[in-house]
Amino acid sequence: VCTDQIVDSISERKDPDALLIRGSFVCPDDSRIAYQIRLIPASPARLLIEVQAFEKSNRTFLFPASSADEGFFGFGEQFTYFNMKGRRLPIIVQEQGIGRGAEPITTGANITAGAGGDWHTSYAGIPHYITSKMHSLLLMNYEYSVFDMREDDYTVIEVASPRLAGEVYYGKNPKELVSAVTEYTGRMKALPDWIHKGAIIGMQGGTEKVRTKLKELEDNNVPVAAFWLQDWVGQRKTNFGKQLWWNWELDKDRYPGWDEMVSDLSKKDIRVMTYINPFIADIASLKDNVRRNLFEEAKAHGYLIKTKEGEPYLIQNTDFHAGLLDLTNPEAVIWMKQIIKDEMLAVGSSGWMADFGEALPFDAVLYSGESPTTYHNHYPEAWAKLNREILAETERPDLVFFTRSGYTRSPEFTTLMWLGDQLVSWDKYDGIKTAVTGLLSSGLSGFSINHSDIGGYTTINNPIKDYHRSKELFLRWTELAAFNAVFRTHEGNRPEENHQFDTDAETLQHFGRFARIYAALFDYRKGLFKEAEANGWPVVRSLFFEYPEDPNTYNIDWQEFMLGSEILVAPVLSEGETTKEVYFPKGKWVHIFTSKQYEAGEQGLRETVDAPIGQPAVFVRAENTALPEALQEAITGKPKKTTPEK
C-alpha cells in the first residue's frame, strides 16, 4: 500500500472551473506510481472526480473527511440498517441470501447450501451515499468497492481498480441531492394508471383457479389491477419448493383456454402479468409438452455465457442447472427480446417480473471479451435495458416489468423495482422489517418506485425451526403495502404452508379493505409518481428525506416512513404488538383511522398509539386538504358525511 504522495502540479484545464492535479505515490520500497486527479464540473450540482494510477496498481482509495455525529444513508437497497455510520459496507450485486444474519436460519442455509447471506448482502447495493451534513458521492466504477465508515473523522472508500471515477454532489437538502444524483443515474418513469388501481394478485395453479380466485375477489369488492401468473410456463417441484420450468413458452396444458381467460379479464379491466429471467434450462427430457427447446437454440448460436473450455456455463439453482444469457452478445439480446415479444406479449401479457440479474460468475467467458469481474455489476443494468427496449420497439408504454437486481444506472431502465425474496418472518435481517428499510435506503439512490411481496417469499421447512407465513404476519404486511407504490401479493415458494389472502374470511375481508384504501390513494400516488419522474424523489420516503434538520430521524430504520410528504406511516412489524411508539416530526398530525390529533414542536414528539390489526398508526398532516374523500370511505366502509349547504 503506497500512501505517501507527492503533488507535482495543479493546473486549470480549458474550463477555468476544472482542475488537473499530477503527482506520484511513494511506495515502501521507494518506487513511485504516477497518478493524476481530474476535477471537472458536470453541472451546477455535480462535480466529476477521476483518480488514475498509471502502473502496477489494482486498488484506489479515497479518504473523505467525516465527523462522529455524521449519518450516512443510501447505498442502494440496504435491508438491515438505514444509517451506516460505524459500519464497513461492501458493494457487490449478489443474491441476498436466506436469513442474512437471522438465526438459526442463516446457519442452516449455510450448512445446507452456502446460501445464508449477511446483513450487507444485497441484490442492488449502490456505491452512493448522502450524509446528514449534505455531503454526497457516487462512484461510477463497476468494480467491487467498499465503504468503511467505522472511524469518527474520516471515511475510507476503496475500489478494486487503478482508476476511480465518481461524482460529488451539491445540494442544500436531500431532495436537491437526490435530484442531482439522478441526473446521472436516470429517473424512473411514472407508472401507467392500470397497475396501481388495485391489487396485483400473485398466484399459480391454472385457468380454473384464476377464475375461482376472481370470483372470491369480486364477491368481496376487492379492486384488482392484474393477475400475476408466475407459472405461465408450468411448474416444477424442487427441494426448495415450487419453482418454474425456465423455458419461456406458455404451458397450454396448465392454462387451457388461456386466450379466453385473458379476454374475459380484459373486459373487467384486469391485466395479466407473467414471469421471465435471463436463465434458460434444458428441460426437453423432463417436461412432456415442450414445443420449443430454448436452451438448445441458445447453445447452438452461442447466446450463453461460457466456461474457459468454451462450453455453456451451467449455474446451479436449488437442484437443477441452467445457462445464463450472455448480454454482451448483441444477437443474444435480440433473440431474447423476440422471445418476450413472441411468447409473452403475443399471448396478452401486460407486464412481467424480470427476475435475477445478479448471478454472473467471475470466472465466466463473455462474448465481448470483457472482464466478468467488471461486467458483473453491469449485468443487471443490461438486463433491465433489454426489457425496457421492448416498450419502445413495440410502442407499448403501458407495459410494466419489475426487477430485483440493480446498479447505478438501473433507474434509467427499469419500470419498477421490488425488494426481492424476504423471509416470511418478523426479523430485521430478512423479514418484514427489511421491506421498509430497503425502501428507505434505495429511495435515496434513485430507486424511487419500489415495493415488496405482501407476506414475504422464502418459506422454510427445517427440523430445528420452520419459517411459515402466519396469519398475523400477512395481515400486518397487507397494512404496510397499502401505503406503498404497488400492492402485490406472492404465494411464496411453498404456497400450501403459507397463509394467503383468502385462507379465511377474516383475512379476505381485511385484504379487501386495505386494497380499497390503496386504491383510494390513487390520485395522491400519481402525483408522487410525477415527482419521481421529474425529480428522482422516492414515493416511499425516510423521515430524514423530509426532515433532514431533525437528528431524531437519522436512526429510524423500519419503524416509520413517509408516503410522499403528507402521510406518516408507523407500521406494526413485531409479532403480537397492538400499540406503536411513534415519533412525530414538527407539525400537526391527524390519525386517519381515529381522527385523533398530535402536535409536535421543534424537538418532535414521541407518543404510544393504539394500533390493533386493522387500525395501523397512519397520520396525515392536519393542514392537508388534498387527500381524497374516498380514503375516508375506504377506511370506514361508509360514505363521508357532508354538511348541507345553508
Q: State yes or no: pLDDT of 641 exceeds 70.
A: no
Q: Which residues are known to be catalytic? A: 355, 358, 421
pLDDT in the model for residue 17:
83
Segment 94-115 mean pLDDT: 92
pLDDT at residue 643 in the model: 47
Looking at residue 84, its pLDDT comes to: 98
With H, G, I as helix, E, B as strand and everything else as coil, classify residue 213. Answer: helix
| Residue tagged 409473452 (cell numbers) | 344
Residues ≥6 apart with Cβ < 8 Å to 124: 76, 77, 93, 380, 404, 405, 406, 407, 410, 417, 442, 447
Residue 240 pLDDT grade (very low, low, confident, very high; cuts 50, 70, 90): confident
User: How far is residue 33 from each of residues 57, 60, 211, 340, measured CA to CA in Å?
Assistant: 8, 12, 69, 50
Q: What is the pLDDT of residue 430?
A: 97
pLDDT tens for each residue of 541-593: 999 999 999 999 999 999 999 999 999 999 999 999 999 999 999 999 999 99
Give the Cα-Cα-Cα angle 409, 410, 416 (nearest 5 degrees). 150
Highest mean pLDDT among 44-58, 324-338, 627-641: 324-338
> Looking at residue 645, what is its pLDDT?
46
Q: For the residues of 27-92, what is the DSSP string, one character each? A: -TTS-EEEEEEEEEEEETTEEEEEEEE-SS---EEE--B--TT--EEEEES-SS-S--TT-EEEE-
Arithmetic mean of pLDDT over the chain: 95
Asked if residues 570 and 580 have their Cβ atoms less than 8 Å apart, the reply is yes
Query: How far apart are the C-alpha atoms of 614 and 129, rounded to whole Å?
Result: 36
Q: What is the pLDDT of residue 646?
A: 39
Which has more pLDDT, 68 or 108? 68
> Kind and range of the H or E element at 606?
strand 605-610
Summarize pLDDT for 80-97 with one digit per residue, the tens.
Answer: 999 999 999 999 999 999
Q: Is 530 helix (H, G, I), strand (E, B) or coil?
A: helix
DSSP 247-305: S-S--TTTSTTHHHHHHHHHHTT-EEEEEE-SEE---TTT-TT-S--HHHHHHHHT-B-
Compute the average pLDDT of residues 49-75.
Answer: 95
> With the C-alpha atoms ordered 482, 483, 485, 490, is the resulting torsion angle positive or negative?
negative
Distance, CA of 24 to CA of 26 (rounded, Å): 6
Alpha carbons 443 and 441: distance in angstroms, whole number = 5
Residue 54 has pLDDT above 60, yes or no: yes
* pLDDT per residue as tens digits for the range 392-432: 999 999 999 999 999 999 999 999 999 999 999 999 999 99
Tens-place pLDDT, residues 322-353:
999 999 999 999 999 999 999 999 999 999 99
Whether residue 461 is predicted with pLDDT greater than 80 in this model: the reply is yes
Strand order of the sheet with strand 224-229?
A: 199-203, 224-229, 271-276, 349-354, 400-403, 416-417
User: H helices within 102-255, ranges in order?
Assistant: 105-113, 174-185, 207-219
pLDDT tens readout for residues 495-549: 999 999 999 999 999 999 999 999 999 999 999 999 999 999 999 999 999 999 9
**Is 60 exceeded by the pLDDT of residue 14?**
yes
The predicted model gives 268-272 an average pLDDT of: 98
DSSP 122: B
- At residue 633 the predicted structure's pLDDT band, cuts being 50, 70 and 90, is confident
What nine digits make up the cell of 139?
A: 462512484
Q: Quick check: 465 pLDDT over 90?
A: no
Classified as helix, coil or strand, 227 is strand
Look at residue 644 in the predicted model and tell me its pLDDT.
Answer: 46
What's the start-to-end Cα distance of the chain, in Å?
Answer: 82
Question: Residue 262 CA to chain centroid, in angstroms?
Answer: 28
